[in-house]
Amino acid sequence: MTMCDTLYIVVPCYNEEEVLPETARRLGDKLRGLMAAGKISPKSRVLFVNDGSRDGTWGVISRLHAADPLFSGVDLSRNRGHQNALLAGLMTARDRCDMAVSMDADLQDDVDAVDAMLEKYSEGCDIVYGVRSSRKKDTFFKRVTAEGFYRVMNFLGAETVFNHADYRLMSRRALDGLAEFREVNLFLRGIVPMIGYIVGTVEYERGERFAGESKYPLKKMLSFAMEGITSLSTKPIRYITLLGFLIFLVSLLMLVYSIVRWAHGDTIVGWASLICSVWAIGGLILLSLGVIGEYIGKIYLETKARPRFLIREILEDGNGKAD
């Protein structure tokens, strides 16, 4: 890493009007400090991505840019979801920087971990993951469900980094690699490890949300997990095949058992076992159809090749706007 290396901090924003001024203050102080220390280029910027917010988020971003060119902005045409907004920011930064750090706007990610990420980058790492050192501040339910999320994802074939969300540094080469992935169904936590190159990790203590509400309640986390699993792995379908084979074996054993009982003159059939079997098989069939349907839905969306995001406006240096 040299003084010429330009860093962009990409921050996707959805209804972050309350927290954005404080986020800008902290990130601005961090970039200015790194510039003063000669660790990054004066061309480095904070890039806020407005993901179709319904509050005054874009107005805040516009005012920040007007007051200080250190802050840039990307305004998406409509809400496209966190992963698409993050990708839009990274792809916008890609042609303007040597490396990009992605992080959320809620200030839970430790801004000071950027220094350690830069050290790893200077050692030759193309991707540096920010990994939580502990979950002591989480409630028992949050800790169990979050850790279970990563374990289930890895078990079902979606390779992820344990206790890592979307706080990471990516070099220009890694960003070019990310641009080669064209799928519409995005799950960056699983796609980025597929890029390869040299990786490193930095541990940090995750703080409390500065303001506003979490954008990932339990219901959305479950949906997010399903999106990641079906986007990156075919293991669930293989497990369904295995389950079907096991049920077939059980049916053969039950057939042998029934023949043996018939040979001994015992022809009384228990209706309870029959009803339970019917309900169990019916439930498994519906579950299997649902999983297969998820994959068919993914194929449907991928074949349409719809744009993952559309940018309405970009605020940057020069005349302040670019289409």
Does residue 15 contact residue 28 with C-beta atoms inside 8 Å? no
- Confirm whether 117 is domain-assigned: yes
The one-digit pLDDT tens for each residue of the chain (323 residues) are 555 799 999 999 999 888 899 999 999 999 999 998 889 999 999 999 999 899 889 999 999 999 999 999 999 988 888 888 999 999 999 989 999 999 998 888 889 899 999 999 999 999 999 888 766 666 666 667 666 766 776 676 667 777 777 899 999 999 999 988 888 777 788 788 888 889 899 888 876 655 555 555 556 666 666 666 666 666 777 777 777 777 767 766 766 766 676 666 665 556 556 666 676 677 677 677 777 777 777 776 667 666 777 788 888 875 334 33
Phi-psi region of 9 (alpha: psi -120 to 50; beta: other; left: phi over 0): beta
Asked whether residue 23 falls in the same domain as residue 72, the answer is yes
Asked whether residue 119 falls in the same domain as residue 164, the answer is yes
pLDDT at 209: 57
Asked whether residue 44 falls in the same domain as residue 161, the answer is yes
Name 87's bridge partners: none
pLDDT at 64: 93
The amino acid at 205: E
Asked whether residue 46 falls in the same domain as residue 152, the answer is yes
Asked whether residue 130 falls in the same domain as residue 166, the answer is yes
Structural domain including 203 reads: 7-218+308-315
- Confirm whether 230 is domain-assigned: no
pLDDT at 320: 39
Asked whether residue 207 falls in the same domain as residue 240, the answer is no
Asked whether residue 165 falls in the same domain as residue 250, the answer is no
CATH of the domain at 49: 3.90.550.10
pLDDT at 321: 40
Largest CA distance in the chain: 93
Overall number of domains in the chain: 2
Asked whether residue 138 falls in the same domain as residue 65, the answer is yes
- Confirm whether 208 is domain-assigned: yes
Alpha helices in 1-95 (DSSP H): 20-36, 57-67, 82-94
Asked whether residue 17 falls in the same domain as residue 161, the answer is yes
